[in-house]
Structure formats: C-alpha cells, structure tokens
Structure 1
C-alpha cells in the first residue's frame, strides 16, 4: 500500500484530445463572433484571450485561444503546448515578432511579448501555481523550462 508521500506524475489526456478541445474552443469563439469563449480571470481561476500573432515563416496572422492571468496592466501566459514537450507555435511566433494583438472579454488590446526571468518569473510562476496546484508536476513532464510570457500594453503605430 502506498504511503501518503507517493506522488505519481499527473496523467494528461491524449494529445489529440487536448488539440481537439482547443480547436473546438477557437471554433466556438469564431462562430459566435467573440460573444462566447473568452472570460476574465477571477479569484484563483485563469481567463482566456484570443492572441493574434504574426507567423514566423508565413508572415500571416495566426489566432489562438490562450489562458492568462492579469498582473497590473500586463497579461501573463504560460508557453505550454498542452504540456507537450514542443514549444507552442504562438510562442515561437512571438519570439520572432513580439508585437501582437489580444481580444479580451473587455475588448481588444495591442501588446508586446517578452519572457519573464529571475525574480519576476518566480513571482509570476507562484501566481500560476495558485490556479493549478500541480503546476510544478505538470511542468516536470517537459524537457525544457516553460516560459512565462508577459504581454505588456503598447501604443498603436501611426499608419496601422
């Protein structure tokens, strides 16, 4: 009989199911023209936003639904791909083209992305840990550190 200290690694749904869920979520958001599918973070629950990046290879806009927390005027996301080992395409796109657009429950916002580091990363990771008790166990499933992505507000560029 296992003792109380037995910590089994978390079991994740099959990759295909995770992709299907987020694809369906994005489809509902698009079909309802944004009326359904986004929510603000509340208490210990994360919110969802539609993040539009510029593709690093195609140069075309790409939209994805991403979980986020608020940190003052910034939005904070984890660059995880359903906890799969590969980096999410949206994060690879932001590293190449950090300017992006988000749709929030309260309306659109222009942002610039960067990875948090040092004490800021530790503080933001701790905030995410409040929403997901097994965050560290889930992150340990990946061979690389999960980036904590800070989306800072930016002003529109004249002529765009």
Structure 2
C-alpha cells in the first residue's frame, strides 16, 4: 500500500470523479467500531465498481460521548467532500450536519469489516444500488456531464 496522503479535508483528495468517496469511523481501518462524535480516526476509500483504494486517513484525539457539539467540528470539516461515512452510531445533530454537507451517514452495528462493506457497495454498483447509492451515482454522472461543457468553454471551444 502506498503512503497515505495527508489532507485538510476529503475534497482535497485526488480521486476518480466517478468513484464514491467512503469514510469509515474506525480505530485501525479494518472494522467500523467507532461512534461518529467520539471517533478517533476515519479512513477514506475511493470505491468504484471494480476497485477500492485507501486514499487518506485522519486521526482525532480521544473524545468522550458527552454531547459536546464542538468535538464534531473538526470531523465535519475533514469529511467535506465525502459521499458516505459509516459509523457504529451517530447522534441526530451530527446526522443533520453531515446531510447538510452532502455526506450520507450510515449507521452499522456489530463492527462490520470495512472490506465487507466495500464489497457490498461494489456489488450494488454492479447491480441494483440502494436508493442512497443510486442518488450518489446519479449526481456524479450529472456532474461529469455538466463539467464537460465547462471544459469545452475553458478550452475556447466555439462549436
């Protein structure tokens, strides 16, 4: 595995624009075992229908599950640009703030393996995606279509 890039936020990561950027609240990157607000680290993967690449990770200090909203700010700031974040549990306030940023929070229990969750996303990408994933994929394909006209304009294309 290559050296992980240190980034201020997910939006700074260079990735395939069609890949789904998925963050996992995890102690070690192997399983989703952290509550969103008290997560000590997030691991970011670019997931496409046939590949998954670990792009970045970000560690945070140990936080208590005390309802203190300030501890959410650095996590929310780092996740700007992500499409999805998986966590063991998450409060209503954090859920609302993530959705406002365009990040889809998904709560999973039992400490599922990151690898298995990625495989599930890929299976959906190759078949019939759940609503939340279908929406993300649709938005990505529309952004690609919209940006090609901007690209032509930037190149001075006059048709």
TM-score (norm 2): 0.28
Structure with the bigger percentage of helix: 2
- The structure whose RCO (Cα within 8 Å, separation 6+) is larger is 2
Structure with the bigger percentage of strand: 1
TM-score (norm 1): 0.28
